[in-house]
């Protein structure tokens, strides 16, 4: 397959994260985060790229499927929400924080099983809105269609300790939380990547094509 204004050579395989599922674009810093699909028995990748050259800058792998990614509005941070239903009782998962300069990955939820994170939104520099599945589905017929929403506030998110978010931090009202269709999510992610690719192809840059060829040597692997 040849390069075009529609998509890069070999589709999106050059991203190295499997099929794209979620995309977050930080226009101010020129960064692009892409989450790939979780493969059963393996990890789910999340990579950060230069949004102009598509050269990869960071790669982490989650042990749970990824449901949400969000760049901090000012700090060099990417929040990653993950999780799954264990098949019998619990909704488990992690809220991860990737420091984009140091490469450090911090798991923030105190509880051993964590929570399945379904949505993330930075309301401002100190406040993160977190949408979660219920802790479990015990006597809860609507557990797979509802959730809880909490706003977690910290003065400096770059200094937040690991496993420091407890039940009080994550307590919040019950809200509707229908689980997204993965096919629709993948289609939205592909459409956004295509739009970014077309926009950058309109600006001459020899790094645009070169990035996917030498990306393996340039990638900084910040977490496992």
pTM, rounded to two decimals: 0.87
CB 96 within 8 A of CB 69: no
Q: pLDDT class for 200, splitting at 50, 70, 90?
A: confident
Query: Which two structure tokens, joined as six digits, stand for 206?
Result: 């020899």
**pLDDT tens-digit series, residues 203-214:** 655 444 444 433
What number of other Cβ atoms are within 10 A of residue 59's Cβ?
A: 20
Query: What percent of the chain lies above the pLDDT cut of 70?
Result: 85
> Please, which residues bridge with residue 66 across strands?
82
CB 56 within 8 A of CB 47: yes
**pLDDT tens-digit series, residues 159-194:** 999 999 999 999 999 999 999 898 999 999 999 999
Cα–chain center distance at 47: 8
Q: What's 109's DSSP letter?
A: B
Task: Walk across the sheet containing 56-62 and list its strands.
Answer: 20-26, 31-36, 44-50, 56-62
Quickly list DSSP for 104-131: -EEE-B-SSSB--EEEEEE-SSSEEEEE
Residues 70 and 97: their CA atoms lie apart, in Å, by 10
Q: What's 165's DSSP letter?
A: B
């Amino acid at each position: 397959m040849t390069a075009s204004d529609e998509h890069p050579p070999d589709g999106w395989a050059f991203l190295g994260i499997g099929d794209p599922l979620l995309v977050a674009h930080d226009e101010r810093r020129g960064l692009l985060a892409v989450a790939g699909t979780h493969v059963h028995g393996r990890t789910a990748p999340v990579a950060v790229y230069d949004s102009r050259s598509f050269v990869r800058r960071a790669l982490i792998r989650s042990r749970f499927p990824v449901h949400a990614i969000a760049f901090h509005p000012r700090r060099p941070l990417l929040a990653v929400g993950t999780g799954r239903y264990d098949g019998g009782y619990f909704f488990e998962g992690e809220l991860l924080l990737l420091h984009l300069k140091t490469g450090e990955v911090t798991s923030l939820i105190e509880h051993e099983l964590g929570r399945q994170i379904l949505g993330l939104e930075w309301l401002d520099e100190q406040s993160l809105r977190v949408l979660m599945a219920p802790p479990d589905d015990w006597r809860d017929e609507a557990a797979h269609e509802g959730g809880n929403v909490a706003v977690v506030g910290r003065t400096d998110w770059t200094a937040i300790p690991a496993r420091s978010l407890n039940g009080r931090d994550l307590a919040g009202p019950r809200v509707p939380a229908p689980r997204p269709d993965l096919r629709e999510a993948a289609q939205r992610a592909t459409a956004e990547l295509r739009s970014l690719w077309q926009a950058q192809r309109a600006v001459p840059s020899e790094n645009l094509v070169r990035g996917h060829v030498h990306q393996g040597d340039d990638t900084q692997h910040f977490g496992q």
